[in-house]
């Protein structure tokens, strides 16, 4: 009897492992938004590419810019003033 329970338990663990491995590829839910497929923007200051959602948006002279950090934004603005 115990063997049967163990067998069912092993089967359940195995099944959940398999379904866990297959599920992320099959589901199309935008729940876990990874960097894949996201718009990449360039930081004009340090020329780093980063996802748009992580970037700091700034409007300089009517142009939309994206920065990786506030430091880059500040440095870029200072460079523009010269
Ligand atoms: Zn930067």
- Which residue is associated with the tokens 């939309």? 64
pLDDT of 70 reads: 97
Average pLDDT over residues 14-33: 70
Which backbone phi and psi does 41 adopt, to 5 degrees? -120, 150
Cα separation, 19 vs 42, in Å, equals 38
pLDDT in tens, 53-65: 999 999 998 999 9
Distance 32 CA to ligand 1 centre (A): 26
Under the banding of pLDDT at 50, 70 and 90, the label for residue 38 is confident
- How many domains does the structure of the chain reveal? 1
Distance 45 CA to ligand 1 centre (A): 5
Q: Are strands 40-42 and 49-51 parallel, antiparallel or unpaired?
A: antiparallel
Tell me if residue 81 falls in helix, strand or coil: helix
Residue numbers of the domain that contains 65: 2-28+37-81
Distance 36 CA to ligand 1 centre (A): 21
Distance 46 CA to ligand 1 centre (A): 4
Tell me if residue 24 falls in helix, strand or coil: helix
Kindly report the number of other CB atoms within 10 A of residue 29's CB atom: 6
Q: Which of 2-11, 20-29, 31-40, 49-58 has the highest mean pLDDT?
A: 49-58
């Amino acid at each position: 009897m115990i063997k049967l329970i163990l067998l069912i338990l092993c089967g359940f663990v195995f099944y959940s492992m398999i379904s866990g491995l297959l599920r992320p590829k099959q589901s199309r839910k935008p729940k876990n938004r990874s960097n894949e497929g996201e718009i990449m923007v360039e930081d004009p200051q340090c020329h780093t590419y980063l996802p748009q959602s992580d970037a700091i948006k700034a409007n300089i002279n009517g142009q939309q810019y994206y920065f990786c950090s506030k430091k880059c934004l500040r440095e870029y603005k200072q460079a523009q003033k010269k």
